[in-house]
Amino acid sequence: MANPNLTSIRQQLARIVGPAPWYWKTFPEIHSSGGQRLVWTHQGEEGPVGYVVSLAPEKDPDRAILALNTYCRPFLVAPNCLGVWAPEGRNIRIAGFEVDRLEGFDLAEVAGWFKQSSDRIYAKTAPVADFEVRLDLPPGTHKIEVPAELATVDELILPTSYKALSSDDPAFALLVLYLRAGLVEVLPQKWFTASQYEVGRKWISRAARDEESGRIFGECYGAGTFLLEEDGCRLAEWVDKIS
């Protein structure tokens, strides 16, 4: 593998999607098949739709077509679908929506709804694809059943909490989903343990694969930007560290 270019990694990090609502400005730009631009809006931190991030046509921003609760992350799916993944219980839910079929609704419909429901995604139109990946999978690579509508995506890297049996065990893992291949690789982050970090106040918020070296890098909220060893499990160095 090539040596990582840290300047390039910093530039790439700015484009990596993070969880709603804190990273909503990183969410991908979306257009309908007819070219209509859709815009993301953070509904603020107060009130009945506090912390909700909505998606709506640019020309009709009050008519939402999708609402996302905390920890949701959207991603683009060719040719005209929008994927969303989010933790739900002891699973990761990955859903796909056909953009042109999403029906509009008034945000008043979801006022308080997320507070009463364990769901994190709200849409009037059912997803065209929906499946889950278990969070208790052991390290290594496992087969998963991926709906055809999402199988055009090569790779997604999902940071998630990981059950640690002791303070020296990994408290976070990266799930690398190879959707086209129908596989998931579980990479426990051996460097991120309760004995080394204040888990909860610090957490891995987003990660991606360096376009040049193929190494995984990411952001640890409250700690800085990191680069992993080639095995994807051990910390190689801090690109930028918060003191």
CA–CA dist 113, 97 (Å, integer): 20
Q: In the numeric block, which tokens belong to residue 74?
A: 């959207």
Q: Across-strand partners of 31?
A: 37
Q: Across-strand partners of 184?
A: 142, 177
pLDDT at residue 61, as a whole number = 86
131, 148 Cβ separation under 8 angstroms: no
Written as one string, the DSSP assignment of 28-49 is PPEE-TT--EEEEEE--SSSTT
Written as one string, the DSSP assignment of 196-239 is TS-BTTBEEEEEEE-TTT--EEEEEETTEEEEE-TTSSSEEEEE
- Using CA atoms, how far residue 102 sits from 62, 126, 194, 200, 243, in Å, is 15, 8, 42, 35, 44
pLDDT at residue 116, as a whole number = 76
31, 37 Cβ separation under 8 angstroms: yes
The residues of the chain scoring below 70 in pLDDT are 1-2
pLDDT at residue 47, as a whole number = 85
Under 8 Å CB-to-CB from 165, ≥6 apart: which residues?
none
Three-state DSSP at 68 gives strand
Q: State pLDDT tens for residues 148-163.
A: 999 999 999 999 999 9
CA–CA dist 68, 84 (Å, integer): 9
What pTM does this model have? 0.94
pLDDT at residue 3, as a whole number = 80
